[in-house]
Amino acid sequence: MTTTALQAEKTTGAKLIDGKAVALKMRATQRARVEALQAKGITPGLAVVLVGDDPASAIYVSRKVKACEAVGIKSVSYRHPTTITNEELLVLIGKLNADPNIHGILVQLPLPAHIDMAKVLETIAPEKDVDGFHLYNVGALVVGRQIFPPCTPYGVMHLLEYSDIPVEGRNVVVVGASNIVGKPMALMLMARDATVAICHAKTRDLGQWTILADILVVAAGVPNLIVPQMVKTDAVVIDVGINRLPDGRIVGDVDFEGVRKKASYITPVPGGVGPMTIAMLLENTIQSAERQASGEPA
């Protein structure tokens, strides 16, 4: 078949992967798990720590807090001005580590430049590290154990599974090599026997890589980075980017209108991966409380 014929045949465009709907669907089960814990006298507790006045972080944190309420997780917010010192932040984390009513601790990133982020993340007790950023949990992921999978890539894995998209043996290209998304994403996909390549800001001729992808995961934070000619026909395209344009619109990293005509599946922004990040945070927090209830070590 010629390329033109193929394109003519693809009149319907990609199926949308509706992360918002999947996240809402998950809530019923999550609520039931919280109720089961409450029947044993345990209310899952999540501490959310926000430092500084980054407006995007404030929005993400308030969404996380609201989602906790919706399933019965008790969230406790700690908002601190940028003037907080490393020591003060570490003391707060120490207190939360010791508090039996707190099952999960989340420190919203990015942190102000004077804060030693690595030290902060390493101070969080690994068994309460629901973001999965502690070295112990990162190491677990490297060797194929998932104790607290980082929420965004965990959400992507869940969306792929929910949409019956097989991963084993497929070429997956991850664009973005951050500790929060790209690297754990690649590890989770490798654990499921995908063939994974990671591209990043220094990758030369990005399109030569992305065109090979059966599944393309983009987490670069660059609007319109991925255009149709960089995408293989019928690829699955997962857009993790959340970018605010000067006109106020929120868009991902993918030229959605162009790429949807070529892909088999695509996630929208907003309403794709974003809601799943929050859903998986709830999942990890409930899991943490369940582990504590059963006396199981992390």
Which residues are near ligand GUN by CB under 6 A? 106-109, 131, 151-152, 180, 277
Q: Cβ 60 to ligand GUN, closest distance in Å?
A: 7
Residue among 156 and 213 whose Cβ is closer to ligand GUN: 156
- Out of 18, 129, 131, 255, pick the active-site residue: 131
Q: How far is CA 80 from the centre of its chain?
A: 24
User: Which lies closer to ligand GUN via its Cβ, residue 17 or residue 120?
Assistant: 120
Q: How far apart are CA 67 and CA 36, in angstroms?
A: 18
14 versus 89: smaller Cβ distance to ligand GUN: 89
Q: How far is the CB of 188 from ligand GUN (least distance, A)?
A: 14
Does residue 233 come out as left (phi exceeding 0), alpha (psi in the -120 to 50 range) or beta? beta
Q: Give the number of other CB atoms < 10 A from CB of residue 38.
A: 13
Q: What is the dihedral of CA 92, 95, 100, 102, to 10 degrees?
A: 0
Instruction: Determine which one of 18, 30, 64, 239 is catalytic.
Output: 64
Q: If we measure between CA atoms, which residue out of 205, 223, 210, 153 comes closest to residue 182?
A: 153
- The token duo for 95 is 């207190």
Closer by beta carbon to ligand GUN, 37 or else 279: 279
Check if 129 is active-site: no
Q: Which residue is nearest to ligand GUN (CB)?
A: 109
Strand partners, 107: 49
Nearest approach, Cβ of residue 48 and ligand GUN (Å): 9
Shortest Cβ distance from residue 279 to ligand GUN (Å)? 12
Three-class HEC string of 224-239: CCECHHHCCCCCEEEE
Active-site residue 108, yes or no? yes
Q: Which of 108, 128, 239, 253 is catalytic?
A: 108
Residue with tokens 């090599």: 177
Q: Can you read off the two tokens belonging to residue 237?
A: 């395209």
- Nearest distance in Å: CB 136, ligand GUN: 16
CB contact at 8 A, 263 and 236: yes
* Residue with Cβ nearer ligand GUN (109 or 197): 109
**Could you list the active site residues?**
64, 108, 131
